[in-house]
Chain A
Amino acid sequence: MIEAVNLTKKFEDIMAVDHINASIKEGNVFGLVGTNGAGKSTFLRLVSGILKPDEGSITIDGEPVYENERAKARFFYISDEQYFLPNATSADMMAFYRKMYPQFDEKRFHYLLDSFGLQEKRKIGTFSKGMKKQLSVICGICSGTDYLFCDETFDGLDPVMRQTVKSLFVGDMAERNMTPIIASHNLRELEDICDHVGLLHKGGILLSKDLDEMKMNIHKVQCVLENGMKPEQIPGLSIIKKENRGRLYTLTVRGEKEQVESAMTAVDPVFYELIPLSLEEIFISETEVAGYDIKKLVL
């Protein structure tokens, strides 16, 4: 488990990461979202041991990361602009990482490279941005580390490749309990892969929750009520947000599915149905409750 306690990093007078407390469990996909400058990259660089915290600590299974080879051998960091050795080919990078990560899976590297259509002997300098991203993901996956830190990794990948990478992540999570931590400014990218999401804003964690928990506790209800009845009159329904178009109400409500269903059934509406919320909608609701306008924070 990765644990950040009171993690703080300042760049001169700019507070990049402000007393963050977070836990990232193994086998989960942790999504880190926030606008540019929210502190996502800084947080990942702190977790990777690139930056030294000014205050607080960051540990992997209780071991501090900074200047700790054993802790560092447990993750692979893919930065938003990954560096490759000068004039290196994919094969050169493999040779390099093989020395750094003893668990590096060479066979799989060749296989994935072939699957992604990347030439082993071609200079990486001639690759497109997307191809470089693909190569860094392949290197990361094949390194066989417990954690994979991805900083805006999906940015620049086409939708097909994005799905492929996601499926690779899922496969490795299932197979060897790999834990990807993905930083992105795009909620939609994380929606179908993350188990837990942390929302960063101005260096602080605004929200950190399990996606399932969030999804189980928040629902969208579309309903048409009896004449003269208002949604606020429905007993036991905790409404976060309300919209209406004529008699058709769209409500965002807090509570478990059964609880919401029973509340709705009890007032015998003309029509009602529960619609799944997108991650974005969940965040909009959650952050509005917290007094923020999510549209200004992400997307």
Chain B
Amino acid sequence: MTLRNWFFNWMIEEGKRRLWAIALSCLVFFFSLPVVAVFLSGTEYNPEFRKIRFTEDIVALLSYDNGWMIFIMMVLAVVLGITGYAYLNSRKKVDFYHSIPIKRGKLFSVTYVVGVLIVAIPYLVCLLFSVLIGWLGGADGRTILGVALTGWAYQMLSFLIVYTTSIICVMLTGNTIVALLGFGVINGFFPLLLNLLDAYAYTWWKTFWNFQPMTGWVTRTSPIAFYIAGSVEDITIGRICSRLAVSVVLILIAAFLHKKRPSEAAGKAMAFYPSQPVIRIPLTIVSAMSGLIFFHTLGHGFGWSMFGLLTGGMICHCVIEIIYHFDFKKLFSHKIQLAVSLAVAFLGFSLFRWDILGYDSWIPKEEKLESVAVYASDVDQWMDYGVLVNTENSGEQEVSEYIWNWVSEDAYLLEHMELEQKNLALELAKTWIEQEKSWAKEDGPQERVYVEYRLTDGRKVHRCYQIPKRKMSQVFAGIYQDNGYKTGRYPVLSMKPENVEEVRVKTLDQEAYLSDMQSQDTDMSVVLEAYQRDLMLATLQDFNQIPLGEIKFLDHTRVAAEKEERSNYSYQEFYPVYPSFTNTLKSLEDRGIDLEQWNEREIKYISLYGLYDFEGTYQEIDSEWIPEIKDVLLYNDYVRYTNYYYEDMELQADVCWVDKKGKERIDSYYVIPGETADRLQESIQKENENK
């Protein structure tokens, strides 16, 4: 037979053998694509945005990131990969296929190609059909065709990875069920191991910060995770190349294993004897370590941990031995390997439990430290980080013209922060190491201080130091004063004064835009410069003050977003104004806003109720307390702007006061801990006792 002859002849035979798979594939794609496209074309949209929204929906359907398509592609990859070569698991079929005059390599290649085509052709046809339906329904034809073809190519590339992995599982095993279990192991082992290492580190390493956890590697160690991860990211040349490279490597592995796989492997659990310990030992170790941490979590004792290690390891070993031999009586085979596995698991546990590698005590040498970023979980926790997005030409425009997309605090700070005095971070680490044991014994809440050490060799090392909150003012004060900290922490410090077009000021009952004030000085940049000056000079101690109000600075885009009624920006990017921010207060006053005056209120009565130790008490206090107490009342929404911790506030107050229009309103406040609060508590206690 010529090359073309044998290939196509065998493809036809293979197609006949897998008719059911072809039917399944056609059916799945038909209902997942054209049927959905027809359904979408019948959906009622806002007529103004119909074309945009319909195109977006069709794009979402045809795109590579369609979750349902990813799911069915993965299922089809496993089904086709495993059933395509399932004949290798039957002696009868092996005798048949391996006795006919056709090389195994040819059998392998045709079976492989047919498996791919069973998915590729129905998928492509259904995609094109859906594009046609979308185009007829009014979607932008060129856009959806491009998305469909890109999606098809990318999905097929990702499909190859999962498909070939499942074939490798068939090659390594001699039984379909074991092949499926093997697929589970290949996909689940490393994610489980990485999660386990994360859990171990989190449990026993005190300075472990899982900002970039080991689970970040999951996408590179599990074919399914790699597939899914690729779908939530943009398609780049790098991603395409990495998928191509992985596919080629996997195909070569599969072909090699197929060539080496003995025919007599049919019906056995494992096709290659040497692969048995290679799979069993790591699984036993991971299972033992999983058992250990499970029972540690339940029992919190060394004994329970060891119980978990032994049972987890032994059960896993025995189950695998039973599967390997298809014989229950063989469960305790390879006892020495079991003992070695348990010993390795214990060693792994020891590395974390007794910090043998010195993870917690590690501090970089100053000369090897390029830069450093430091921030604390409760200091400046009020900050909003995000990007203002113009939604023009997107379906989101139906919601709002501008959308505030939040950015995580970690991501923003680690990108923007760089301490000017990097030794401050080293001193903090040294202090933690010296004080750790005594601090751990302290009662009360703990604060997390996050550090990213950027080393001269390009590595980034992350640590998290737990410090008692009451020690924070002394430990963190220096870092807070660092200019690098502040410019990294507060985006407003990077704002150019000439860009400021509007300033918004508000207290709990009043607010104003500077442009609305009857002021002769319309230069808003002065206010920003004043605020920037105040913020740079602020100390951690300043945050013990009660803010007078909030302020936000708006550039051209922000003004537009602010005025867009449906925008979610209106509540973002406020900064506190403290009594110590004299430059800001003065510049505002010059423009007709006297924040101190805005805070003058006629209080009618105050009702106190206790928190924590005083829980349950609720009573109106005598009016003579009012002048004294009003200086220690902290408006609920402003607690985040201060150094006070909710845990320290024993009293809360409902304050009834009369606003400028003569209307009564009640707001909730905390009573700042201190002398006044203590005397109030004593007074309440006495009154309660007298009752």
How would residues 7 to 36 of chain B score, 1 for a CB under 8 Å from any chain A CB and 0 otherwise? 001000100110000000000000000000
Nearest-CB distance from A37 to chain B (Å)?
15
When distances are taken between beta carbons in the complex, the residues of chain B under 8 Å from A174 are none
When distances are taken between beta carbons in the complex, the residues of chain A under 8 Å from B1 are 99
A72 within 8 A of B: yes
A50-B263, A83-B93, A83-B95 known; A101-B104 Cβ under 8 A: no
B272-291 interface with A by 8 A CB criterion: 273
CA distance A70 to B103 in the complex (A): 10
B92-A81 in contact (CB<8A): yes
When distances are taken between beta carbons in the complex, the residues of chain A under 8 Å from B103 are 67, 69
A72-B101 in contact (CB<8A): yes
A12 within 8 A of B: yes
How would residues 82 to 107 of chain B score, 1 for a CB under 8 Å from any chain A CB and 0 otherwise? 00000000101111101111111000
A45-B263 in contact (CB<8A): yes
B102-A85 in contact (CB<8A): no
Q: Which residue on B lies nearest to A52, using beta carbons?
A: B262
When distances are taken between beta carbons in the complex, the residues of chain A under 8 Å from B13 are 85, 96, 99
CA distance A80 to B104 in the complex (A): 22
User: Which one of A48, A51, A52, A83 contacts B92 once the chains associate, using CB atoms below 8 Å?
Assistant: A83
Q: Which residue on A lies nearest to B273, using beta carbons?
A: A12
When distances are taken between beta carbons in the complex, the residues of chain A under 8 Å from B262 are 51-52
A67-B104 in contact (CB<8A): yes
When distances are taken between beta carbons in the complex, the residues of chain A under 8 Å from B9 are 99
Q: Which residue on B lies nearest to A149, using beta carbons?
A: B99
B516 within 8 A of A: no
A291 within 8 A of B: no
A79-B98 in contact (CB<8A): no
Number of interface residues of A (CB under 8 A): 25
CA distance A85 to B14 in the complex (A): 10
A50-B95 in contact (CB<8A): yes
Nearest-CB distance from B690 to chain A (Å)?
91
B99-A72 in contact (CB<8A): yes
Nearest-CB distance from A59 to chain B (Å)?
16
User: Which one of B16, B17, B98, B101 contacts A50 once the chains associate, using CB atoms below 8 Å?
Assistant: B98
CA distance A71 to B178 in the complex (A): 34
Nearest-CB distance from B330 to chain A (Å)?
13
Nearest-CB distance from B334 to chain A (Å)?
14
Number of interface residues of B (CB under 8 A): 22
A66-86 interface with B by 8 A CB criterion: 67, 69-70, 72-73, 77, 79, 81-83, 85-86
CA distance A50 to B102 in the complex (A): 11
When distances are taken between beta carbons in the complex, the residues of chain B under 8 Å from A267 are none
A69-B103, A73-B101, A96-B13 known; A50-B92 Cβ under 8 A: no
A11-B92 in contact (CB<8A): no
CA distance A60 to B361 in the complex (A): 72
Q: Which residue on A lies nearest to B5, using beta carbons?
A: A99
B264-A11 in contact (CB<8A): yes
CA distance A99 to B1 in the complex (A): 9
Report whether over half of chain A's contact residues are helix, strand or loop; otherwise say mixed. Answer: loop
B99-A82 in contact (CB<8A): no
User: Which one of A79, A92, A99 contacts B96 once the chains associate, using CB atoms below 8 Å?
Assistant: A79
A100 within 8 A of B: yes
Give the interface centre of B17, B90, B94, B100 by most chain A CB atoms within 10 Å: B100
B17-A77 in contact (CB<8A): no
When distances are taken between beta carbons in the complex, the residues of chain A under 8 Å from B102 are 69, 72, 100
A49-B98 in contact (CB<8A): yes
Nearest-CB distance from A149 to chain B (Å)?
8
User: Which one of A50, A52, A81 contacts B99 once the chains associate, using CB atoms below 8 Å?
Assistant: A50
CA distance A52 to B265 in the complex (A): 12
When distances are taken between beta carbons in the complex, the residues of chain A under 8 Å from B90 are 83
How would residues 177 to 197 of chain A score, 1 for a CB under 8 Å from any chain B CB and 0 otherwise? 000000000000000000000
User: Which one of B17, B104, B273 contacts A85 once the chains associate, using CB atoms below 8 Å?
Assistant: B17
B263-A51 in contact (CB<8A): yes
When distances are taken between beta carbons in the complex, the residues of chain A under 8 Å from B100 are 72, 100
How would residues 27 to 55 of chain A score, 1 for a CB under 8 Å from any chain B CB and 0 otherwise? 00000000000000000010011111000
CA distance A148 to B646 in the complex (A): 90
A93-114 interface with B by 8 A CB criterion: 96, 99-101
B273-A79 in contact (CB<8A): no
A12-B273, A99-B9, A99-B13 known; A82-B96 Cβ under 8 A: yes
When distances are taken between beta carbons in the complex, the residues of chain B under 8 Å from A96 are 13
CA distance A51 to B16 in the complex (A): 27
CA distance A261 to B202 in the complex (A): 98
CA distance A118 to B16 in the complex (A): 23
A86-B101 in contact (CB<8A): no
Q: Which residue on A lies nearest to B104, using beta carbons?
A: A67
Nearest-CB distance from A35 to chain B (Å)?
20
When distances are taken between beta carbons in the complex, the residues of chain A under 8 Å from B96 are 79, 82-83
B325-353 interface with A by 8 A CB criterion: none
B263-A79 in contact (CB<8A): no
When distances are taken between beta carbons in the complex, the residues of chain B under 8 Å from A100 are 100-102
B99-A48 in contact (CB<8A): yes
A77-B99 in contact (CB<8A): yes
A51-B263, A51-B264, A99-B9 known; A85-B99 Cβ under 8 A: no
Give the interface centre of A12, A50, A51, A70 by most chain B CB atoms within 10 Å: A50
Of all A-B residue pairs in the complex, the 8 with the closest CB atoms, nearest first, are A83-B96, A72-B101, A73-B101, A77-B99, A79-B95, A83-B92, A48-B99, A50-B98
* Partner-B contacts on A (CB < 8 A): 11-12, 45, 48-52, 67, 69-70, 72-73, 77, 79, 81-83, 85-86, 92, 96, 99-101
What would be 27 A-B contacts, judged by CB atoms less than 8 Å apart? A48-B99, A49-B98, A50-B95, A50-B98, A50-B99, A50-B263, A51-B263, A51-B264, A52-B262, A52-B263, A67-B103, A69-B102, A69-B103, A70-B101, A72-B101, A72-B102, A77-B99, A79-B92, A81-B92, A83-B93, A85-B13, A86-B17, A92-B16, A99-B13, A100-B100, A100-B102, A101-B101
Known contacts A48-B99, A83-B90; 4 further A-B pairs (Cβ under 8 A): A50-B95, A51-B264, A72-B101, A77-B99
